[in-house]
Amino acid sequence: MGNTLGQNSLGRKIRFFRKRAEMSQMELEMEIDGSAGMISRIESDKVNPSKETINDIAKVLKLNKREIDYMIGASANPVSEKEIEAARGEVGEYFSRLNVFAYLICDRQRIWLLSRGFYKMFAPVVDDPEKVSREVQNGSQIIRIMLDSSLGINTYLDQESLKEMLCYNLSRFYLELDFITDDENITNTIKMIESHPIAGKIWDRIKLQKEINTTELDSRTATFMIHGLKVRLRYGREYLNSNPRFEVIEYVPTNRLIKLLSRF
């Protein structure tokens, strides 16, 4: 029987990036001055390449820092349960405050904790709060939560704001995760994106772009529909000191928001 590559193997990842670059194994070998059959052995996981060889391959295939990290760094595997619990513990007390509107995500854009304030803000539009809690507890992709109409969360955004947020989040998703083909959560999310009437069109446009600057896309503001009224909030992103694989996205509450929520 032939060798079956593990879904998360280094060889499989190198093969994916090589094919994406439209290079043959022989062409890559010549570019890195490798021996005949070297790339075939690496991609079949029959040999472990040295760090120098991996760096040479990454340079030839023009891989960015995130892609290299996915091959051999901390993000080669999804975050562990231990990492998730530590991250939740670090922000848990802060997230329990009523006037904190934030959520915790990892480097694969899976949401792991939602603040008390956000739950209160969602309350009027969410049909099944327990379902939302389960999605967060299980680390659903933030994109999936935005698109899943059964959760009802997307109804607190007006259509224009939804498109703006989708444009930004889908662009980040494409740049940071589209190359990860061994993660079922990511694969399923892409299928959901492609089948969504609004997200699918945005996704197609993003894939046609040669360069995407998420800094320009990020307006640092979002408009929410709270009890039928529009509330525009500024937000920021901050990585956890203890584990930079996690970041907190926090919205700055306005007096108008606080007054609206205090009525309910």
Q: In what order do the strands lie in the sheet with 229-239?
A: 111-114, 101-106, 246-252, 229-239, 221-226
Q: Would residue 4 count as lying in a domain? A: no
Top-confidence residue, 217 or 193: 193
Average pLDDT over residues 241-252: 93
When divided into structural domains, the chain yields a total of 2
Q: Residue 164's pLDDT is what? A: 81
Token pair belonging to 215: 């800094």
The pair phi, psi for residue 233, each rounded to 5°, is: -120, 140
Which of 76, 92, 127 is the last residue before a domain boundary? 76
Q: Where a domain ends, among 33, 56, 76?
A: 76
Q: Are residues 148 and 174 in the same domain?
A: yes
pLDDT value, residue 210: 56
Domain identity same for 168 and 137? yes
Say whether both 217 and 163 belong to one domain: yes
| pLDDT at position 3 | 37
Q: Quick check: 133 pLDDT over 80?
A: yes
Question: Domain range spanning residue 145?
Answer: 81-262
Is residue 3 situated within a structural domain? no
Q: State which H helix or E strand residue 22 sits in.
A: none
CA 54 – CA 32 distance, rounded (Å) = 10
Report the pLDDT averaged over residues 154-168. Answer: 76
Percent of the chain with pLDDT over 70: 89
Q: What is the CATH number of the domain that holds 16?
A: 1.10.260.40
Domain presence at residue 1: no
pLDDT over 90, % of the chain: 56
Mean pLDDT of 71-81: 91
Q: Which of 66, 46, 137, 61 is nearest to 108 (CA)?
A: 66
pLDDT at 2 over 70: no
Q: Which residue, of 55, 76, 97, is where some domain finishes? A: 76
DSSP assignment letter at 183: -
Is the residue at 140 inside a domain? Answer: yes
Q: Picking from 13-17, 46-50, 127-131, which range would have the lowest pLDDT averaged per residue?
A: 127-131
On whether the CB atoms of residues 178 and 170 are closer than 8 A, the answer is: no
Choice between 218 and 110, residue whose per-residue pLDDT is larger: 110
pLDDT (0 to 100) of residue 100: 94
Torsion of CA 191, 192, 195, 196, to 10 degrees: -150
**93 in the same domain as 29:** no
Q: Do 106 and 163 lie in a common domain?
A: yes
Domain assignment of residue 5, yes or no: no
**Least trusted range by pLDDT, from 76-90, 142-156, 161-175, 180-194:** 142-156
CATH, residue 224: 3.30.450.180
Tell me: do 146 and 66 sit in the same domain.
Answer: no
Same domain, 18 and 148: no
Instruction: Give mean pLDDT, residues 60-85.
Output: 93
What are 74's two structure tokens? 């901390």
